[in-house]
A and B are shown apart, each in its own frame.
Chain A
Amino acid sequence: MSGVAGKKQKTKKSPGIELAKCPTGIAGLDEITKGGLPRGRPTLVCGGAGTGKTLLAMEFLVRGALEYDEPGVFISFEEAAEELAKNVESLGFDIERLSKQKKLAIDYVHVERAEILETGEYDLEGLFIRIGYAVASVGAKRVALDTIEALFAGLSNDFILRGELRRLFRWLKEKGLTAIITAERGTDTLTRQGLEEYVSDCVIVLDHRVVDQMATRRLRVVKYRGSSHGTNEYPFMIDEHGFSVLPVTGLSLEHLATSERVSSGILELDAMLGGKGYFRGSTILVSGTTGSGKTSVAAHFADAACRRGERCSFFAFEESENQILRNMSSIGLDLKQWVKKGLLQIKASRPTMLGLETHLVTMHKEIAGFKPRNVLIDPITDFEAAGTHGDAKAMLLRIVDFLKARQITAVFTSLTAEDSAPGSTDMGISSLIDTWLLLRNLEQGGERNRGLYILKSRGMAHSNQIREFVLTDNGAKLIDVAIGPDGILTGSARVAQQAKEAASDVVRQQAREAKRQSLAHKRTALQARLKALQAELDAETQTFEMEIKQEGLREQRAQAERLRLAEWRTAKAKSLKLAKGGAK
Chain B
Amino acid sequence: MKTGMMHARAAARQARSRKESKKVPAIGTPQKIEHWELRLYVAGHTAKSLAAFANLRSICEEHLAGEYHIEVIDLLKNPQLAKTDQIVAVPTLVRRLPEPIRKIIGHLSDTEKVLVGLQLRPRGLEGK
State which residues 88-120 of B face A: CB under 8 Å. Answer: 88-92, 100-110, 113-114, 116-117
The answer to whether B75 and A125 touch across the interface, beta carbons within 8 angstroms, is yes
Please tell me if the beta carbons of B89 and A119 are within 8 angstroms of each other in the complex. Answer: no
B118's closest neighbor in chain A, by CB?
A117
A3 interface hit (Cβ, 8 Å): no
Give the residue among A117, A121, A126, A130 with the most B Cβ atoms within 10 A. A126
Interface segment, one of B18-26, B30-38, B61-69, B79-87: B79-87
Partner of B89, one of A107, A110, A124: A124
Question: A123, A124, A125: which has the most chain B beta carbons within 10 Å?
Answer: A125
Most central of B83, B88, B92 by chain A CB within 10 Å? B88
CB contact between B79 and one of A117, A133, A154 (< 8 Å): that residue: A133
Structural contact, A122 and B102, CB atoms closer than 8 A: no
B53 at the interface (CB under 8 A from A): no
Q: Could you tell me the distance between the alpha carbons of A118 and B52 in the complex, rounded to whole angstroms?
A: 12
Using known A-B contacts A118-B105, A123-B48, determine if residue A109 contacts B113 with beta carbons closer than 8 Å.
no
Within the complex, what minimum Cβ distance (angstroms) separates A559 from chain B? 159
- Total B residues in contact with A, Cβ cutoff 8 Å: 34
Check: B76 CB closer than 8 A to any chain A CB: yes
Alpha-carbon distance A125/B117, docked complex (angstroms): 21
A117 to B102: give the CA distance in the assembly, Å: 8
Nearest-neighbour CB distance to chain A for B45, whole angstroms, equals 13
Given A109-B88, A151-B88, A115–B101 Cβ distance below 8 Å? yes
Contact B109 A119 (CB under 8 A): yes
B117 touches A119 (CB 8 A): yes
Q: How far, in angstroms, from A133 to B117 measured CA to CA in the complex?
A: 29
- In the bound complex, what is the Cα–Cα distance between A127 and B87 (angstroms)? 7
A20 to B108, CA, bound (A): 45
Query: In the complex, what residues of A have CB within 8 A of residue B104's CB?
Result: 116-119
A residues 93-147 near B (Cβ < 8 Å) are 107, 109-111, 115-127, 129-130, 132-134
Residues of B within 8 A of A118 (CB): 104-106, 113
| Chain B residue, CB-CB nearest to A151 | B88
Residues of B within 8 A of A133 (CB): 79-80, 82-83
Given A110-B86, A117-B113, A117-B116: A122 and B76 within 8 A (CB)? Answer: no
Q: Which residues of A sit under 8 angstroms from B82, Cβ to Cβ?
A: 126-127, 129-130, 133
Contact between chains at A126 and B107 (CB < 8 Å): no
Interchain CB contact (< 8 A) of B106 among A109, A121, A130: A121
A126 to B89: give the CA distance in the assembly, Å. 5
Min Cβ gap B37→A in Å is 16
User: In whole angstroms, what is the CA distance A130 to B76 when docked?
Assistant: 10
Please indicate the chain A residues that have their CB under 8 angstroms from the CB of B105 in the complex. Answer: 116-119, 122, 155
Given the complex, which residues of B lie within 8 Å of A109, measured CB to CB? Answer: 86, 88
- Return chain B residues, CB-CB under 8 Å to A107: 83
B101 neighbours in A (Cβ, 8 Å): 115
List residues of chain B with CB within 8 A of the CB of A154: 88
Partner of A130, one of B48, B87, B91: B87
Query: How many angstroms between the C-alpha atoms of A117 and B80 in the bound complex?
Result: 23
Which residues does chain A contribute within 8 Å of B110, judged by CB atoms?
Answer: 119-120
- Taken together as a complex, chains A and B put the C-alpha atoms of A90 and B86 apart, in Å, by 28
Q: Is the CB of B89 within 8 A of A122?
A: yes
Task: Check if A122 sits within 8 Å of B83, measured CB to CB.
Answer: no
1/0 contact trace for A371-406 toward B, CB 8 Å?
A: 000000000000000000000000000000000000
Please give the distance in Å from B81's CB to the nearest CB on chain A.
9
**Complex Cα spacing A496 to B13, Å:** 122
Residues on B with C-beta less than 8 A from A119 are 104-110, 113-114, 117
B105 to chain A, nearest CB (A): 5
Question: A153-172, CB under 8 A of B: which get 1 and which 0?
Answer: 01100000000000000000
Which residues of A in the span 484-524 have a Cβ within 8 Å of any Cβ on B? none
Q: Contacts A107-B83, A155-B89 given; indicate if A122 touches B48 (C-beta within 8 A).
A: yes
> Given B43, B75, B103, B108, which contacts A120 in the complex, CB threshold below 8 Å?
B108
Docked-complex contact B117 and A117, CB < 8 angstroms: yes
Provide the bound-state CA to CA distance between A116 and B106, in Å: 10
User: Residue A127 contacts which of B89, B103, B116 (CB distance < 8 angstroms)?
Assistant: B89
Question: What are 12 residue pairs bridging A and B, where the CB atoms are less than 8 Å apart in the complex?
Answer: A109-B88, A117-B114, A119-B104, A121-B48, A121-B106, A122-B90, A122-B107, A126-B43, A126-B88, A130-B83, A130-B88, A155-B88
